[in-house]
Amino acid sequence: MDDNLTSDPAMNDALEDAILVDPDLTDQANRNAIRGANGAVDGSVPPGTGEDGRVAAKAVLGGKMLSAPKPQQMTSGDEGITLGDKAELESARRNKPACDEKLSYDMGWANRMPKEFSVYPKANVQEAAGQCDFHVVSFTTATPIKSIVDFYYTQAKRNGYDAEYLLRGSEHVLGGTRESDDGA
């Protein structure tokens, strides 16, 4: 990989510049608190942080992305619902017994997402949880929210889901069901 593509000049300058210190306070420093790097500092940006995943997302979709409809404001009755409540409501809607497992938080749940709803390309997983067949993942990305919603809307429609785009305060919610297998 070309170092010019992964190196930030401003970061390099900041890391390699002289540090100002107050000689009167140096005796108060804990010299064991910070240890030097194992190699030269190169100012690389960690993979996935700050990257816009739109190009990769279009590649996943074969180049064609649908545009999600304008979001509707969620009703006030839906605002306080927890993930556990949502799982119970969904089980009742599908006439399936509620899952007795408690919602468990583990990054491994991100890998168990259905293929059509995997983590957005170039995104960083922040939190993942699940129980039985109920999974939830939160992630960060530099991609604008509209592009992310369009990506998942396209995935939902292509895989037979109806799709509903809602706003709950500032939170964007895309949900849907698939009649062929009671998927949600």
Residue 59's CB is within 10 A of a number of other CB atoms, namely 11
Residue 165's CB is within 10 A of a number of other CB atoms, namely 19
Over the chain (184 residues), the average pLDDT of each successive run of 10 is 60 76 62 52 50 88 91 69 58 63 84 88 87 82 91 93 85 84 76
Residues 6+ apart with CB under 8 A from 76: none
Distance CA(116)–CA(17), nearest Å, equals: 47
pTM: 0.62
* Domain range enclosing 155: 1-184
pLDDT for residue 20: 72
Side-by-side strand order, sheet with 164-168: 72-73, 164-168, 171-175
Q: How many domains does the chain have?
A: 1
